[in-house]
Structure 1
Amino acid sequence: MHPPGAADLDVRPYDFEKPELLSEPQGERLASAFESFGRSLGLQLTAKTRTVIDVEYGGYVISPAGALRDSAEPAAYVVAAVEGVRARAVLRLPLVEARFWASRLVGGTGAPSGEERLLTAVERALVWHLVDEHALELHLAFDGLLPTLIVEAFAYDRVRELAAPDDLMVQAGFALDRPGSRSIVTVTLPAEPILEALGHGAARQEQGLVTHRLEQHVAAAPVDVALRFADTRVPAAVVLSLAEGDLIPLDHPRHQPLAITMDGMPVVRAAVGGNGDRLACVVVDA
């Protein structure tokens, strides 16, 4: 413990939309899985497109699905089902990068045409096939932390039905660098199977059970109680001139019960009593 100002503490705010659910070793293992996938992604893209593509892992966040934010850059979203969970995984790929992949896969130059357009049916099929291979690489990189992924849909807008707004998701970013271009690819995965595999703890509890247990904790929490007379108003001069033996008449009638307060708030009324050689109070009205 340090007195105020005696230590230079590194204090940072806690973001309740992005809770810190993992210990340091668990977080390192998750980061290592994403880094492994990034290396595999770079090797695979370099081999498939015959262009050196460096992939830089940019970190991950754990956040409710409703709190995730996307770039405004036009992108393709490839959605995959995750075995055993309702929420979906999604890979977000900028359209310019998707067109480059498709062009290189069929022997093209991949040079940008400057035209802002969606993918053709052929380009979409090529990208789908390549992302399907990426999904397998992702599963292998997580080494048991992530169930099998099955690519099932393709979209051009953010997938609103990816998960319920309060479902926890893990989102990681990867920077793809090639000559003359830099793109950001994001991978979003359901957090539930990953947290369970990491040994995070018990699965999320039902809301009713959580409410019941919170009520039990609140009921068992210690609080300060006091026995209080009615307030008496006196001039400040009387208080400043008080000396030993002085009396202050109270405005509390003898027949009126006293108030039992909890953390300063009146809760019940009571009369003065005793318990052996100790003072006590007798509750007379709740």
Structure 2
Amino acid sequence: MTDILPAPEVYDFARPSTLAREHARVLELAFETFARQWGTQLTAKVRVVSQVTSEQVQIMTYDEYAASLPALTGMALLPIADTTPKGVLQVPLDAALTWVSHALGAARPLPTPDRTFTPIEQALVRKIVEDALDDLRYSFGGLLVHDVGVGGFQYNSQFAQAAQKGDLMIVASFSIRVGERIAPGTLALPAEAVLPQLGETATTVSPADARALLDAQLASVPVGVSLRLAPAAVLPSQVLSLAVGDVLPLPHPQHRPLTIAVDGEPVGTAAVGANGSRLAGIVVTTTSEQPA
């Protein structure tokens, strides 16, 4: 059976803008809480059992985020007080229209083509987004200190001017299940509105510190140690004809210490000894003490 490996992620060394591990975990928890709250809110609004699952949190430029979206999609722009870039809550247009149909009482809405919202549909979608922002404020707590509102709607991801191309955005991807329909969605927040509340994290260390940290980590990693006799060379025919009771002579003198090996690499020698009721190796020499 062949194991299915996860798809590799491309890392751009020219733009190493990544979230620190502790920051990423805090944001993942916040978005997971938001997803649960939003799923409950959607169930109440559209009157169909709904579930929202947070799938991934990453940081990217607004230009990269916009390029990752379908050309025609629903984008609610989210102005944030004291912050120039806007946030974006994005869902497919046909999925949002299905939610509206459910909210208006349709048990099984017909498939809807991708089209922009009518004024009535836009008002209903706006209410859904406003309720989602209440869940966002609750889930983020002190991570989002500025007021977030609902601005206009955009339908072309390439022309929506929520932020400058190079502005960093924290982007969360969601799987939104409403009834039998599953749709992808994203929520993008300007990094400058969230990261200051996460605190400072040391992103670089001096070469001396890096060596000390590496040595400390390696010192705590368990490794397998073996004691080896000198190897014996035998012919394949001898191996194939081995039987119970056969004796293989070993070219290892009785007075010669055994080799201490770690992952196959010799690091010293040891004599056979005992530690209570167990066999033990008494270190005789280490690699640094052995003659070149």
Same fold (TM over 0.5): yes
In 1, distance between residues paired with 2:171 and 2:74? 16
1:80-138 deviation per Cα after TM superposition (whole angstroms, max 9, x unaligned): 10111100001111111111221222222351244443222111110011101111211
Listed as ranges, the matches of 1:95-106 within 5 Å are: 95-106=93-104
Paired residue type of 1:48: K
Structure 1 stretch displaced more, 16-25 or 38-47: 16-25
Q: 2:41 aligns with which of 41, 44, 65?
A: 44
2:25 matches 1:19: no
Listed as ranges, the matches of 1:63-212 within 5 Å are: 63-68=60-65, 69-72=67-70, 74-146=72-144, 147-158=146-157, 159-200=159-200
In 1, distance between residues paired with 2:97 and 2:119? 12
Percent identity of the aligned residues? 31
Say if 1:22 and 1:200, in contact at 8 Å, map to a contact too.
no
When residues 86 and 137 of structure 1 are mapped into structure 2, their CA distance, relative to the original with a 3 A threshold, is same
When residues 132 and 13 of structure 1 are mapped into structure 2, their CA distance, relative to the original with a 3 A threshold, is closer
In 1, distance between residues paired with 2:170 and 2:41? 23
Say if 1:18 and 1:64, in contact at 8 Å, map to a contact too.
no
* SS of residue in 1 equivalent to 2:166: coil
In 2, distance between residues paired with 1:124 and 1:14? 38
In the comparison of the two structures, how many residue pairs are matched?
192
Runs of at least 5 residues in structure 2 that lack an aligned partner in the other structure = 1-7, 203-292
Say if 2:20 and 2:201, in contact at 8 Å, map to a contact too.
no
1:236 alignment counterpart: none
* SS of residue in 2 equivalent to 1:77: strand
What is the root-mean-square deviation of aligned Cα atoms in Å?
A: 2.3
2:266 alignment counterpart: none
Say if 2:94 and 2:112, in contact at 8 Å, map to a contact too.
no
* SS of residue in 2 equivalent to 1:143: helix
Instruction: Tell me how far 1:179 sits from its aligned partner.
Output: 3.8
In 2, distance between residues paired with 1:117 and 1:166? 29
In 2, distance between residues paired with 1:39 and 1:19? 31
When residues 26 and 97 of structure 1 are mapped into structure 2, their CA distance, relative to the original with a 3 A threshold, is same
Instruction: Tell me how far 1:181 sits from its aligned partner.
Output: 1.6
2:52 matches 1:55: yes
Instruction: Tell me how far 1:16 sits from its aligned partner.
Output: 4.2
Give TM-score, length-normalised by structure 2.
0.60
* SS of residue in 1 equivalent to 2:186: strand
Paired residue type of 1:139: R
When residues 93 and 192 of structure 1 are mapped into structure 2, their CA distance, relative to the original with a 3 A threshold, is same
Paired residue type of 1:152: G
When residues 163 and 114 of structure 1 are mapped into structure 2, their CA distance, relative to the original with a 3 A threshold, is closer
When residues 102 and 17 of structure 1 are mapped into structure 2, their CA distance, relative to the original with a 3 A threshold, is farther
Paired residue type of 1:49: V
1:42-64 deviation per Cα after TM superposition (whole angstroms, max 9, x unaligned): 11111111111121111111011
Say if 2:71 and 2:156, in contact at 8 Å, map to a contact too.
no
* SS of residue in 1 equivalent to 2:143: coil
Paired residue type of 1:55: V
Give TM-score, length-normalised by structure 1.
0.61
Paired residue type of 2:147: T
Instruction: Tell me how far 1:13 sits from its aligned partner.
Output: 6.4
In 2, distance between residues paired with 1:101 and 1:89? 22
Paired residue type of 1:52: V
